[in-house]
Structure 1
Amino acid sequence: MDITRNTRNAKNELMTYFRSESENLKSILNQKLDHKGKAKILNSKLVSCKEELILATKKKAAEENWTKIELLECILMITYCNYVVMLETRNSVWAYEYMAFSRRIGELWEPFCKLAFEYPINDLELFTPPSFSDIKNRVTSEFTNKINELDILDNKKESLINSYLAVWEMVTSGEIQMNLDLHFKIGIEKYVVDFKSGFGSNEKGNTNRLLLVAQIYHDLNDNYNPLLFVRSMENNNYFNTLKNSGIWNAYSGADTYVEIYKYSGYNIKEWIDNNIDWENDLSQDFVAHLRINNLLQYLTW
């Protein structure tokens, strides 16, 4: 497919391209595979098609000195059209039901929003956060240095350090996962972001982990700012617990898009409103399936 600056407006052409790829892939698929096996392979192949197109887009953008907005909007359109065909293709070999479809729409929302940070308009930089082991080693080293500066006997110093290490062992029975969904810097400020489609009724464990992770970041005193971006406007006590914790800046629904715009410099909500039309972009057969099974309600970003 030929990539130009106008690819950002070429929804029909992109949809035709991905649907053609999907049909070609299905025609050579091993028919002995069960529905799960077919869905897995087709999804992987379509993701590869999207990534190849994005690579070609980035190359063309560099060669022709596209603006940041031109590049981002091309990638947004490629990604959305790929999502449409991935959903159609999955349903053609393994029909969606409520749980799988609602979860999948949420799963696709996060990486789509992250594109505004991966190809930002504002001057920001992605970074890799420290691991829990790195943090533990840093804090332990600082504590050990302070103990060694005390005017006490060496055996007392050793006893204090051993007691400190014993506490670490008690409170950290396993490696705490510090990675969130997005980590970026603007100037000296560091932002660590968790994306969620919404909060279910069984989120206690995840909520406690998020509280612990945010507290650790705050305690590092290194300009970390934990942000929570939630797609749904309808949230429960778990969301409110994080929002009212004083250590998370939590946003949901329209407020999430305002924050994405503020940090990335791009109004992705406006792009969604102007370009995403699930009910008309998805195939008629798929839309009929969604309507019969009362699944159209989940096509809300």
Structure 2
Amino acid sequence: MNVDRKLFERKDEILSYMRDRAEESYGEIVRTYGEAEYKKRASGINKKIIATTDNIKSIILQRARSQNWEKEEVLKNILVVTYSSYVIMIEFRNRAWPYEYMAFARRIGELWEPFCKLCFDYPIRSDVELYEAPLFSEVKEQLQEEIRVYINSLNITDDEKENLLEYYDKVWSLVTSGEIKLELDLHFKIDGRKYNIDFKSGFQSNEKGNTNRLLLVASIYKNIVGGDNECMLFVRANEDDNNHYLQTLKNSGIWDVSCGEETYQQISEYSGFNLAGWIQDNIDWSSDLSDDTIQYFRDNDLEKYLTW
């Protein structure tokens, strides 16, 4: 397979190459693990497909640098190779360990998030800059120091200051009784303003724990970290297809929630790339998956989950 700047126009060639590579690897895996070790077969072939994908991406990026490809050429090539790898992963996972509906629905959602993030890993906009999320321990330490300085500056007795600090420490002990992870799925900056993004396939089950965590994290970004911090939730499912936990976040005043088509509009605005249009023109699960795979999905009523 010739990797050039127009590779993204040859999806069938990419699929054929990656399928043949996976077939070679799967033969070795089957000889290593018996039928009863289907989980090891599935894990083994998945790792091989990821390795092949990473190798192709490395070639793309190397040639893009040496040949001065346009940003859009780089992103389109990365997108089509990534999508093709998903097709092959699904085929061989289903061969090694046939999907049931819960695992398949979850897997399609799991693949969607990193796919969307590619638009920010290789943004068309020149002012998009990824950044590392702060550690809660650092945020806590900074706030504690500010509060201690403030309390010590008050015109009260030393005993009163000590009592205030003791109560303050008690409050912190409650807040930090569990780990607080401020890292979300994506963090980027535009013109100094920070955007903290969480991707979600949908809210169809009991999401109480996750909802409470998201409310806490956004509150910390807004009220403690401060500055120009925006917290945005990108949901794949349409708003009407989600339960009340989504509405809790939407009505919180601290999360900017987008669903369905609006999510893709936000991705386009902030990354500079029309991902929805690219998906419409290039992703066709029913045609790209092998005949036996798509037939299995149809027989088991799984094809309906193949929507992005």
The residue that corresponds to 1:4 in the other structure is 4
Given the alignment of the two structures, is residue 285 of structure 1 paired with residue 288 of structure 2, yes or no? no
| Distance in 2, Cα, partners of 1:202 & 1:45 | 35
The residue that corresponds to 2:262 in the other structure is 255
The residue that corresponds to 1:48 in the other structure is 51
| Distance in 2, Cα, partners of 1:44 & 1:155 | 62
The residue that corresponds to 2:83 in the other structure is 80
| Distance in 1, Cα, partners of 2:243 & 2:99 | 26
The residue that corresponds to 2:154 in the other structure is 150
Moved more, 25-34 or 36-45: 25-34
Please report how far the alpha carbon of residue 103 of structure 1 lies from its aligned counterpart in structure 2 after TM superposition.
0.5
**Gaps spanning 5+ residues in structure 2: where?**
none
AA of the residue aligned to 1:145? V
AA of the residue aligned to 1:20? D
The residue that corresponds to 1:244 in the other structure is 251
**SS of the residue aligned with 1:28?**
helix
Please report how far the alpha carbon of residue 184 of structure 1 lies from its aligned counterpart in structure 2 after TM superposition.
0.4
Please report how far the alpha carbon of residue 118 of structure 1 lies from its aligned counterpart in structure 2 after TM superposition.
0.4
| Distance in 2, Cα, partners of 1:239 & 1:166 | 32
The residue that corresponds to 1:207 in the other structure is 211
Please report how far the alpha carbon of residue 48 of structure 1 lies from its aligned counterpart in structure 2 after TM superposition.
1.4
Given the alignment of the two structures, is residue 171 of structure 1 paired with residue 175 of structure 2, yes or no? yes
**SS of the residue aligned with 1:5?**
coil
Corresponding residue to 1:230 among 229, 235, 239: 235
User: TM-score with structure 2 length normalisation?
Assistant: 0.95
Equivalent positions of 1:131-142 (< 5 A) are: 131-142=135-146
Cα shift readout 1:189-243 (whole Å, capped 9, x = no counterpart): 1000010000022101111111111111100221110000000111111111111
Please report how far the alpha carbon of residue 138 of structure 1 lies from its aligned counterpart in structure 2 after TM superposition.
1.2
**Gaps spanning 5+ residues in structure 1: where?**
none
Residues 228 and 250 of structure 1 are in contact (CA less than 8 Å); yes or no, is this contact kept in structure 2? yes
Given the alignment of the two structures, is residue 63 of structure 1 paired with residue 70 of structure 2, yes or no? no
Residues 33 and 40 of structure 2 are in contact (CA less than 8 Å); yes or no, is this contact kept in structure 1? no
AA of the residue aligned to 1:213? V
Residues 133 and 175 of structure 1 are in contact (CA less than 8 Å); yes or no, is this contact kept in structure 2? no
Residues 123 and 272 of structure 2 are in contact (CA less than 8 Å); yes or no, is this contact kept in structure 1? yes
| Distance in 2, Cα, partners of 1:211 & 1:276 | 34
Given the alignment of the two structures, is residue 198 of structure 1 paired with residue 205 of structure 2, yes or no? no
Please report how far the alpha carbon of residue 145 of structure 1 lies from its aligned counterpart in structure 2 after TM superposition.
1.1
Equivalent positions of 1:50-129 (< 5 A) are: 50-122=53-125, 123-129=127-133
Please report how far the alpha carbon of residue 154 of structure 1 lies from its aligned counterpart in structure 2 after TM superposition.
3.1
User: TM-score with structure 1 length normalisation?
Assistant: 0.98
| Distance in 1, Cα, partners of 2:201 & 2:58 | 28
AA of the residue aligned to 2:164? L
Identity %: 49
> Alpha carbon RMSD of aligned pairs, Å?
1.1
| Distance in 2, Cα, partners of 1:129 & 1:96 | 35
AA of the residue aligned to 2:137? S
**SS of the residue aligned with 1:34?**
helix
**SS of the residue aligned with 1:205?**
helix
Corresponding residue to 1:31 among 33, 40, 46: 33
**SS of the residue aligned with 2:189?**
strand
Please report how far the alpha carbon of residue 153 of structure 1 lies from its aligned counterpart in structure 2 after TM superposition.
3.2
**SS of the residue aligned with 2:156?**
coil
